[in-house]
Amino acid sequence: MQSLKIEVLVGVFLLLSLLCLGFLAVKVSGFSLGKSNDRYLLYAHFEQVGGLTVRSKVAISGVEIGQVLAIEYDQKTMNAKVTLEIDSSISSMPIDSTASILTEGLLGSKYISISLGAEDQALSGGDEIFDTQSAVILEELIGKFLIEQF
Amino acid sequence: MLIHALKQIGRLSLEILSSMGRALRLLSSALIRRPDHRNIPLVIRQIYQLGVLSILIIVCSGFAIGAVLALQGYTQLVRVGSESALGLGVALVLVMEIGPVVSALLFAGRAGSAVTAEIGLMKATEQLASMEMIGVDPITRIIAPRFWGGFIVLPLLALMFSVVGIWAGSLVAVDWLGVYSGSFWSVMEQGVNFFDHVIKGIIKSIVFGFVVIWISLYQGYDSLPTSEGLSTATTNTVVFSSVWILVLDFFLTLMMFEL
Amino acid sequence: MTRNSIVFDNVSYNFGKKEIFKKLSFEVPAGQTVGIMGPSGTGKTTLLRLIGGQIQPDNGTILVEGKDLKKIKRTELFELRKCLGMLFQSGALFSDLTVFENVAFPLKEHTKLNGEMIRYLVLIKLNSVGLRGAAHLFPRELSGGMQRRVALARAMALDPKLIMYDEPFTGLDPIALGVISNLIKDVGSVYECTNVIVSHDIEETARISNLLYVLSEGEIIGQGSPQDLKKDDSPRLKQFLNGLPDGPVPFHYPAPEYMDSLIGMKNTERAIIKRGD
């Protein structure tokens, strides 16, 4: 019947658009539904964060294990304080691990790369990564180069 | 001479203001006298008329634009050796701008003008008046279902537009131009954020949908019951909708992307 | 004492600067067929819209079936409209519904009758206008006269107490004219409802009406039974009823003196003639 055909087509239309939304969520933007319970927080201070933004990747050996939750200016230490959200499955990060801000890919997006240290004691939720390496700024690099030249 | 010009300006402004007043009254009636459970089939029917029947033009246009974006993007990016970022570029442009804006423009042209013509004709042939005389409120039966139908449909069409565009872009980039499939999708996935980009695009098309269907309904409802009046009304729908879409796009982009 | 279906008491209505009705007063007794006639542009359609409550008068009171239209609320107005039937000049059938669905529309909206009952009623109404066989067609597939008949069936769907007809005879061929005319007469007698016909077709209207009102320039210039009006002597009435081209309603649109226009043309007239090319 006429109205049945219309209802079916409308249902198909709505379903298709939902699938499109799903496609955009998963394939296009890599949206993941990880719960906050599965994550713990770490902090790190940097002299220079460069182009690092909230939701930038946090990786060990290039593999994403978390993301940047917040970037704030710390009045007490007078540098940048970055909050990292780490996946709970990464449980044993030695306390002398290093967090460096590196550039990824050809568009130059910044991310935090963690190199594991050698100590036995591991970092737990709320701890701070003390050994940090700030982002490299091109102008400073050129300036350094020019100074060393002369 | 000057006085005459001033009089014209004054009269024009009053006309515009009273027109906006009528438009607001129509909108508030449509929102207040929204379809109740009995009239949901009417809304479904409108989703069919406005949405399902627009799929063809949306899909064709989305495909074409996605392909063109990939083509143009490739030409530029390959110069700096960054062609693996093509997926990201195509996806961002579609999801944030071209998807919501172009689908809204197409919707105004296809569905919006159809709604205006339909309502205008019903007014001219006294169908709206006769419905009122039968004791049925034409706002609840005719205007409100079209309003909600259009409002729901446009964001969904915009999603389809973007998805088809991205897919077309991938066909052009990967299958034709030889961009590496892995990086096409992975750079895209890393660069596109659901909340920063996709959701904001959806918000845009929700706003556009609201504006376009409002203009279409108002133009039809307020049209003069002559053939000339109807033609003016449908033209107005397309013109005003298009202008408002582009202007709002600027302001929405300004507000949402914190430039 | 016969009940009045409609009472107009000192009603005036202006559309912008134009005064359409000034202190109009008349009554429509229940159960009668009343014709309201007058030259084009006297606001006959406006009159029907005032009766139907679609527009409000600037002054005066309108009572329809005992209810004061100024005082009743919107919901009461919609209730009142269930007792009203209106036949529009163009039929005004809903173009996306079939003939059957058009006639069923008021029944579906206002009654809780089930599908079978509605089907019976619709077929009965369609049969009384002779279009039961066209139930499955769409309005665009019917001629103008047939569309009007279906519209009449729809107006009768809820067995109204008052039916209004806006120019029912206009634009119909002689046969369709006769059909509609007889239908209106039958409807009045079978349903015992009040018929109000607004028309400028004097012959047909006079033929089927018990009582006539003649409107001109917002006032009543003649009222009474058709026979009474024929005997009336007022020049305005005579011009209308006898179809005289010139009289109180002038033939010539106001213009300057003829000779002046032809020989000593003023600039404005030159401009007018030029624009006419």
Name the residue of chain B whose CA is nearest to A16's CA.
Answer: B160
Q: Are C54 and B132 in contact (CB under 8 A)?
A: yes
In the predicted structure, residue B5 carries a pLDDT above the cut 70 = yes
In the predicted structure, residue A44 carries a pLDDT above the cut 70 = yes
Question: Whole-number mean pLDDT of chain B?
Answer: 89
The residue-averaged pLDDT of A19-27 equals 85
Name the residue of chain B whose CA is nearest to C75's CA.
Answer: B135
Residue C71's CB: how many other CB atoms inside 10 A? 8
Strand order from edge to edge, sheet including A63-74? A128-129, A39-46, A79-87, A63-74, A57-60, A109-115, A98-104, A131-133
Give me the pLDDT at residue B246, please: 96
Higher pLDDT among residues B124 and A143, named by residue: B124
Name the packing angle between helices C174-191 and C144-156 (round to 10°): 10
In the predicted structure, residue B1 carries a pLDDT above the cut 90 = no
**Which residues of B fall within a CB distance of 8 Å from A16?**
160
Name the residue of chain C whose CA is nearest to B133's CA.
Answer: C81
Give me the pLDDT at residue B198, please: 87
Q: Are C160 and C193 in contact (CB under 8 A)?
A: yes
In the predicted structure, residue B40 carries a pLDDT above the cut 80 = yes
pLDDT tier, A108 (very low <50, low <70, confident <90, very high otherwise): low
In the predicted structure, residue C236 carries a pLDDT above the cut 90 = no
Subunits that touch chain C (at least 3 Cβ pairs < 8 angstroms)? B
Higher pLDDT among residues A8 and C171, named by residue: A8
Name the residue of chain A whose CA is nearest to B187's CA.
Answer: A105
pLDDT in tens, B191-203: 787 877 888 999 9
Q: Nearest CA to C36 among C229, C232, C244, C239? A: C229
pLDDT in tens, B168-219: 999 998 888 888 777 788 778 777 878 778 889 999 999 999 999 999 999 9
In the predicted structure, residue A37 carries a pLDDT above the cut 80 = no
- Return the minimum-mean-pLDDT range out of C146-155, C169-178, C258-267: C258-267
In the predicted structure, residue C169 carries a pLDDT above the cut 90 = no
In the predicted structure, residue A29 carries a pLDDT above the cut 90 = no
Give me the pLDDT at residue B94, please: 92
Q: Nearest CA to B168 among B52, B68, B56, B28? A: B68
pLDDT in tens, A46-84: 888 877 877 788 888 888 888 888 888 888 888 888 888
**Does B193 lie at the interface with C, CB-CB under 8 angstroms?**
no
Give me the pLDDT at residue C264, please: 64
Q: Nearest CA to B113 among B212, B4, B251? A: B212
Give me the pLDDT at residue C186, please: 85
Question: Whole-number mean pLDDT of chain C?
Answer: 81
**Does B126 lie at the interface with C, CB-CB under 8 angstroms?**
yes
Higher pLDDT among residues B200 and C216, named by residue: B200
- Distance CA(B105)–CA(B107), nearest Å, equals 5
Structure tokens at C92: 């005004």
- Return the minimum-mean-pLDDT range out of B118-127, B222-231, C1-10, C183-192: C1-10
Higher pLDDT among residues B165 and A35, named by residue: B165
CA distance C69 to chain B (A): 14
Chains C, A in contact, 3 or more Cβ pairs below 8 Å: no
Give me the pLDDT at residue C2, please: 64
**Does B135 lie at the interface with A, CB-CB under 8 angstroms?**
no
Name residue B155's amino acid. P
Give me the pLDDT at residue B108, please: 95
**Does C138 lie at the interface with B, CB-CB under 8 angstroms?**
no
Name the residue of chain B whose CA is nearest to C90's CA.
Answer: B125
Query: Which residue carries 């067995």 as its tokens?
Result: C159
Name the packing angle between helices C99-110 and C115-128 (round to 10°): 130
In the predicted structure, residue C73 carries a pLDDT above the cut 90 = no
Residue B98: is it exposed, middle or buried by C-beta count within 10 angstroms (0-12/13-18/19+)?
Answer: buried
For the ranges A133-142, B179-188, C28-37, the maximum mean pLDDT occurs at C28-37
Query: Which residue carries 């067929």 as its tokens?
Result: C33
Q: Nearest CA to B133 among C96, C186, C52? A: C52
Give me the pLDDT at residue C1, please: 46
- Return the minimum-mean-pLDDT range out of B6-15, C218-227, C260-269: C260-269
CA distance A121 to chain B (A): 33
In the predicted structure, residue C41 carries a pLDDT above the cut 70 = no
The pTM assigned to this predicted structure is 0.77
In the predicted structure, residue C181 carries a pLDDT above the cut 70 = yes
What phi, psi does C23 have (nearest 5°)?
A: 50, 55
Any residues with CB less than 8 A from the CB of B93 and at least 6 apart, and which? B69
Structure tokens at A48: 């220079």
**Which residues of A fall within a CB distance of 8 Å from B82?**
106-107
- Distance CA(B216)–CA(B147), nearest Å, equals 9
Give me the pLDDT at residue B216, please: 94
pLDDT in tens, B105-150: 999 999 999 999 999 999 988 899 888 888 888 888 899 899 999 9
- Distance CA(C222)–CA(B242), nearest Å, equals 56
The residue-averaged pLDDT of C187-192 equals 80
Give me the pLDDT at residue A88, please: 80
CA distance C231 to chain B (A): 37
Q: Which of A10, A17, A105 sits opposite B44 (nearest CB)?
A: A10
CA distance C151 to chain B (A): 10
Cα B100 from chain centroid (whole Å): 7
ipTM: 0.79
Length of chain A: 150
